[in-house]
């Protein structure tokens, strides 16, 4: 069997399982099994696949056919141009979360506070994607990364070390903002916002493999986000900002809660590239 034949066979199996982008998935897994980049793989497609390579590829395929997320199989995922380690200890970073990073950088680089150093807290840091991306792009920022999971924090520390920003991020285990000892300029958060009743309808990649505590936001999906909003006024300097990723049908509810928690604050909802409500922005002071 040649590499091309192995690739076509894998694509057919993935497509039959209903996995989207089956050709790309088959290619990515084959490159991982062989340790080749894309150019090298396509230059060798006519070559036979060795028995040990075929076995390694088959093992990866079986994991994907069992609907394990590709990021967990590969052990990595790119986020905001950074390669991050991924394990089942934390969610797989999503492209839509890059909107939160972009907005946070826009605020921090706008000069509105007249300062170079920003104190930022990333609540529910997971694998550290947001905190690491902000630290890489804001060299003078000091960041606290909080999570309830010790395993997620260990993963986040490794990602910070991978990108040489661990010395500017404090990793703290705790619930929401409670571990903070002083107010900050900017709160960023990607917290659970899936309705509990929608759990069984989620794709098996999510339902069977990603940590439920990082996704399940209670009966309405907003329970954790509402707790954050109620805590936040005590932890923000003036002027201060809060950015939180939200479900695409939660803007009205969370906007109301934010307005009640921050009287006189400016509340905005930002849309993602698909035109869906995705980001709650609060400015105070």
β 236-245/277-284 pair status: antiparallel
pLDDT at 232 over 80: yes
Q: Which helix (H) or strand (E) holds 258?
A: helix 251-261
The neighbouring-strand residues paired with 2 are 48
The answer on 218 and 115 residing in a single domain is: yes
Quote the domain boundaries for residue 26.
3-66
The answer on 256 and 160 residing in a single domain is: yes
Give tens-digit pLDDT for 12-61.
999 999 999 999 999 999 999 999 999 999 999 999 999 999 999 999 99
Considering the chain, what percentage of its residues have pLDDT values greater than 70?
99
Residue 90: its pLDDT value, please? 98
DSSP code at position 114: S
Task: Please state, in angstroms and as integers, the Cα–Cα distance from residue 220 to each residue in 1, 32, 152, 232, 272, following that order.
Answer: 52, 40, 25, 20, 21
Task: Please state, in angstroms and as integers, the Cα–Cα distance from residue 83 to each residue in 77, 103, 163, 187, following that order.
Answer: 6, 20, 9, 24
Q: Examine residue 195 and state whether it is found in any structural domain, yes or no.
A: yes
The two structure tokens encoding residue 156: 């986040």
Closest by alpha carbon to 56, among 72, 32, 33? 33
The two structure tokens encoding residue 74: 């590969």
Residue 115: its pLDDT value, please? 64
DSSP code at position 49: P
The neighbouring-strand residues paired with 194 are 216
Q: Report yes or no: 170 and 184 within 8 Å, Cβ to Cβ.
A: no
The answer on 216 and 117 residing in a single domain is: yes
CATH classification at residue 144: 3.40.50.150
Tell me the average pLDDT of the chain: 96
Give tens-digit pLDDT for 131-167.
999 999 999 899 999 999 999 999 999 999 999 999 9
Give this prediction's pTM.
Answer: 0.94
pLDDT at 113 over 70: no
- Measured N-to-C along each axis, helices 98-108 and 129-137 cross at an angle, to the nearest 10 degrees, of 30
Q: Residue 234 burial (CB < 10 Å; 0-12/13-18/19+)? A: exposed
The answer on 183 and 123 residing in a single domain is: yes
The answer on 187 and 141 residing in a single domain is: yes
Q: Report yes or no: 227 and 257 within 8 Å, Cβ to Cβ.
A: no
pLDDT at 73 over 90: yes
The answer on 193 and 62 residing in a single domain is: no
The answer on 18 and 116 residing in a single domain is: no
Residue 99 three-state SS:
helix
């Amino acid at each position: 069997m040649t590499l091309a034949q192995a690739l076509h066979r894998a694509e057919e199996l993935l497509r039959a399982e209903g996995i989207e982008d089956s050709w790309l998935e088959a290619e990515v897994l084959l490159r991982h099994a062989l340790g080749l980049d894309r150019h090298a793989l396509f230059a060798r497609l006519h070559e036979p696949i060795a028995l040990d390579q075929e076995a390694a590829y088959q093992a990866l395929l079986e994991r994907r056919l069992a609907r394990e997320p590709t990021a967990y199989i590969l052990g990595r995922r790119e986020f905001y141009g950074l390669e991050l380690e991924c394990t089942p200890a934390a969610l797989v970073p999503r492209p839509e979360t890059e909107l939160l990073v972009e907005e946070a950088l826009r605020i921090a680089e706008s000069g509105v506070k007249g300062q170079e150093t920003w104190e930022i807290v990333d609540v529910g840091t997971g694998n550290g994607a947001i905190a690491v991306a902000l630290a890489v792009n804001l060299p003078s920022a000091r960041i606290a990364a909080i999570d309830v999971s010790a395993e997620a924090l260990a993963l986040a520390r490794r990602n910070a070390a991978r990108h040489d920003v661990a010395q500017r991020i404090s990793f703290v285990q705790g619930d929401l903002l409670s571990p903070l000892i002083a107010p900050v300029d900017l709160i960023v958060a990607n917290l659970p916002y899936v309705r509990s009743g929608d759990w069984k309808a989620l794709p098996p990649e999510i339902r069977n493999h990603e940590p439920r505590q990082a996704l399940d936001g209670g009966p309405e999906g907003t329970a954790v986000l509402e707790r954050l909003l109620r805590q936040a006024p005590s932890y923000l300097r003036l002027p201060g900002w809060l950015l939180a990723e939200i479900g695409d049908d939660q803007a009205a509810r969370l906007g109301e809660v934010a307005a009640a928690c921050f009287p006189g604050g400016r509340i905005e909802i930002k849309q993602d590239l698909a035109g869906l409500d995705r980001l709650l922005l609060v400015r105070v002071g």
